[in-house]
Each structure stands twice: as structure tokens, then as C-alpha cells.
Structure 1
Amino acid sequence: MSRRAITQAELNAAPRITPTGYAEEAYQARRSPMAVGPAGLPIPSARATYRTTVDGPLLVQIARRAYAEWRAAQLPQLWTDAVAARLLADLRERFPAADMEVLKRYGLAAPQDRVVVDMTEALYEKPVFLTLPAVIELPAGAFRYRWREQGQGAPIPEAVEPYFATGVAVRRAEQPDFMKVVGWPSQFKLQNKRWPTWREIEAAWPRIAEWLAEQRGRSCAR
């Protein structure tokens, strides 16, 4: 199944749901309530047909949770903590404590508990803020690191570059996918004259499938 974006003309031509249709979907939802998974969200059966009025908001929630957990798996907390510790060590080398004590006497140094990394070279990327494992005295002002040459600030240590490159790759994959997945059932209906089943949604969007499979598995294990 292609994931091309739906056009405005196709959207305008899409079959509209009548008030009776909305009422029927709501009635069927009350008759067949979904089990709630460990994450606190209703978990649809793979065989169930997608209902736009009931399942539309649910798909948004599922996609948001699935992509958030995927993102966390790509950038695990242990890796984040290790990067923060490496940056703290670099800052201590750049700004020796004895020098900071001198600056502090004149109000030119201040305690900091986080650091910012400028991601200017990455399209539409916001700066990354990392909490340091300890407070450190730094020169007063806006000290920051930069990810690549075009950013502002001091270059990051080479050892932590893969962490920020992975973060950019994850966000670049996640953002367009999220927007496409929530509109995909309507696109499917335009092409097939029916709403997809959840199995078909999962087949088209593996990260949704992985998250739902994990939720179903944990539900059965309880």
C-alpha cells in the first residue's frame, strides 16, 4: 500500500459520514468495548474495522505513544546520561574550578545544571537541552555547544556526536510518519471504498504494529 499524501481533491471527493453513520459507530462502540492495555489505552482487535468517529482519536493517541516509545528506545536514558557526563567532563576541562572561583568573585560566573547544544545545521531542529549530572560554575552568559560547523557555540566532543546524529535521524523519521499515519485510513477508503481493518493499518505502519503487539502480549500475560 502506497503512503503517498492525500490530495485536497481526493479529500473533497471522499464519502461523507452521515449523522446516522456517526450514531451507528457510537452504538457499535458501546456494544463492543475494547480492552484497555497496560499503557492505559484501548487496544483494538486486529480483525476490527476502523471506525473514524471512534478510532480516529484513538489512532492519534496510539501513534503518539508508539513513536514516543520508539524514540526512547533509539535514545535510551543510559546513553543520554553518558553523553551528559561526557559534556560535564569537557566543561570542567574548559573552565577549571580555580578560574571560575576568580570570576565568581566579580559576578562573572554562575552555577549551571544543564547545557544546550545548537542544532542549526539540522533542518527545523530545535536546540537540545541536557541536564548535567552535577552543578558546575560556568562563565556568566549563554555558553553553548554546537552539533555541526554551522551552529553557534563550541564544538561538541567527537565521542558524543553519534548521539546527536541519532536524535536528528529519529526526529526526521518520526515527524512526517506521524502526520501520514493519522490520515492513512481516509486515504485507504478513497482507494478501496471501505475503511481498513486494524490489521491493515498495522501492516502499513510497522511501528504501530510493534507497539500494539507488545500491548496485546502484556495484556495476555497479566
Structure 2
Amino acid sequence: MASSKHVLLLAAVAAVVCLASLASATQWVVGDECGWRAKFNQTGWADGKTFVVGDTLLFKYPKGKHTVVQVGEEDFATCNHDDDDNQLGAWCSGHDVMRLEKPGKMWFICTKRNHCLKGMKLAIDVVDDDDVAPPPPPVITFPFPGAAPPPPPFSWPGSPPPPPFGWPFPGTALPPPPPKSAAVRNLVSGAVATAAAAVVAAALAF
């Protein structure tokens, strides 16, 4: 029995490590619902976003109408795309996915006639995973074998249930929702905590 419990605990550690690698990566849909489009540089889409090594960018656009080309800073500023030797990468499928491999600035433009000159360009700054503050550790609660469940919170008969902790008082505004791409990272992180709790609980209860 002790040997089986040891194996389950090792499995729990392996599961947490694997899921953590997924939780640390986000796929950013460039332009969100509107995609990669004309005058993109004027939308401020990248403002307030933290792009981390291991994340991916997804450029969505009608195939044949636009392109995605990675260039250097100078070619980005001047919209120079005549020299193919200066291109660091080029895509034209309409559903282009690229992984952010290393920290530093990256510049992308559309090479269709006059599109870049009209603002169809994107600049991002990629940071290393070590530079991002880690999320707080999950609180894992579960009953040990033989332990009684906690009593329900006291309330007067007929009284409505109390609001959850942190619920805004009357007159206070709700905080704005996080960006959709950032919400993906938070959602996967929550899944990691839930999966880890379930596996560890099963191991201890075995």
C-alpha cells in the first residue's frame, strides 16, 4: 500500500509539472475578434499586454488580402520590404501561428501595397518567463481519510445567503474584466491548481 501511495504521489508531481508548462503559455489572437487588419498600428492592441517567451501569436486575416512579415526595427519604421534578405520571417496563410522563442522586441508588417504605410504593423516586447511574477500558490483543501466535513456557515432561518467575500457594496463599480488572451492564461492556471489538488487528494486517500 505504501508503495502504491508513493507511485501516486510521483504521478501527482509529474502531472503538476506538465500542466504548469501549459499554464505558462498563452496564444494571443492578434487584433482579437477583428484580426490582422488595415491601420492596425492605431488600435493600441499590444498596450498593457505582457508577451512571454513560449507564448504564440495568431494572425488571422483573409488569405491573399494581407501578409505577415517579421522585419528589423529600421525596416519597420520605414516600411521597407523590398529586400527579401532583410525579412526575418514571412507568412501568408491567413491563419499564421508563430512562437515567441526569445526575449526582445519584435516587429511585424504587412507587405501588400501601401498597407504598412497606412499603419498595418505591430511591434511587441517579449520578456523572459523569469521576469514575470508567478501567480500565488493554490490553496489545496480536502478532507483527510476519516476526517469529518466542516460545518456549514451559520445563518438565521429564512435569511438570504450572504454574498461571497469581496462582493462590492451598493454604489461601487465592478472591476473591468481582464483581456481575453490574458484570461486564457488565468483559466489554464486555475485548471492546474484543480488538477493538482485532485491528484494529491487521491494519492493520500489511497
Q: TM-score, normalised by structure 1?
A: 0.26
More helix by share: 1
Q: Which structure carries more relative contact order (alpha carbon 8 Å, separation 6+)?
A: 2
Provide the TM-score with structure 2 as the length reference: 0.27
